[in-house]
Amino acid sequence: MPANLPPQYYKLDREFKVETDPRERLRMAEELLRMMPKHKGTTKLQGEMKAKISKLKSLAEGGSHGPGAHRSDSFSHIDKEGAAQIILVGPPNSGKSSLLDALTQARPLVADYPFTTREPLVGMTEFETVHFQLIDTPSINLDQMESYMPGLIRQAHMVVLVLDISSPQVEKEFEDVRTRLQDKRIKFTSGTEESSDMSGAMLKRTIVAAHKYLDEGADELFSTFQTKYPELDLVPTSIIDDPSLVELKRHIFTRLRIIRIYTKRVGHDVGKSDPLTLPEGSTIEDAAKATHKDFAAKLKFAKVWREGNFEGQRATRNFELADRDIIEFHM
């Protein structure tokens, strides 16, 4: 029986054969498996690809460094902290480092010459009790991009593309970054979910920070840019405008589609300093699993408090939670 593989499969397969980064090869192999029609004609091909995926997972996790194994750059993976990992990318002198400095306690080197940032720098920021990890990265243009950047971008939950909206070259700078990442099969999307397109490229959810929007000449450039790229999720920001920084964090929280869940012990007050963060649509059972590995198995029921709706309502494990719900587990 013929395999009847789609044209996109052959294109991605050619790229897969020349790719060297194990994490990218793993992503591509999983995409190739997804593209395969599931019938008897592809049974052998599916088995071979599953074996490759298993081996690549071992390589990507550092489980094998045998002869010929590819060693990833030391910056190609950063452990995630907080509710989500957000990566700042952009062209030279766009203001990424100053934005990180304004949003976190990190202290990056900030200067008025290009390529000041030479390696990733991590900081934590907070929005309404939810903590996010921000990563400042070296600049990208048509001539330069660090080899580890594609892998770092793929692992993050979201991209914030920082552009100097006061620069007359802002459109070219945007296109340069977009082109360079598209060459690595990464495309920006304003959607709330990550996926792949028909070519196997990763559609990475992205917010565009129209930075330095209070600088001279930025108004007209912002309007022109917004008109030319209506599909982009554009948020004006400035380090001298605190409300704009809060709005950027609010935008990140909204696009992540997560909810904050507060837990309380029976007979105790609720603590609201460190909520659980769960995907929208999560249930009481999901919250129990996230709280402790044994809670879900022992759970009999829970009580739920929801502002403006009910207080202490008894609910079963498949009850769907909403943002800011308070739950009390009963074992």
Q: Where in the chain is the domain with CATH 3.40.50.300?
A: 84-256
Backbone angles phi, psi at 31, to 5 degrees: -70, -40
The whole-angstrom separation of Cα 289 and Cα 282 is 11
Amino acid at 303: K
Mean pLDDT of the chain: 85
The DSSP element (H or E) to which 311 belongs, if any, is: strand 310-315
Predicted confidence band of residue 116 (pLDDT cuts 50, 70, 90) = low
Instruction: Please list the residues that pair with 195 across neighbouring strands.
Output: 203
For 48, how many CA atoms within 13 A lie in the half-sphere containing its CB?
6
Average pLDDT, stretch 117-127?
Answer: 85
Least confidently predicted of 53-57, 178-182, 206-210, 213-217: 53-57
Task: Please write the tens of the pLDDT for every residue from 158-200.
Answer: 999 999 999 999 999 999 999 999 988 899 998 877 777 777 7
The whole-angstrom separation of Cα 90 and Cα 93 is 8
Q: What is the pLDDT of residue 66?
A: 42
Amino acid at 2: P
pTM: predicted TM-score of the whole model, two decimal places: 0.76
Assigned CATH for 84-256: 3.40.50.300
Predicted confidence band of residue 62 (pLDDT cuts 50, 70, 90) = low
Q: What percentage of the chain has pLDDT greater than the value 70?
A: 90
SS3 state at 247:
helix
CATH topology assigned to domain 258-330: Ubiquitin-like (UB roll) (3.10.20)
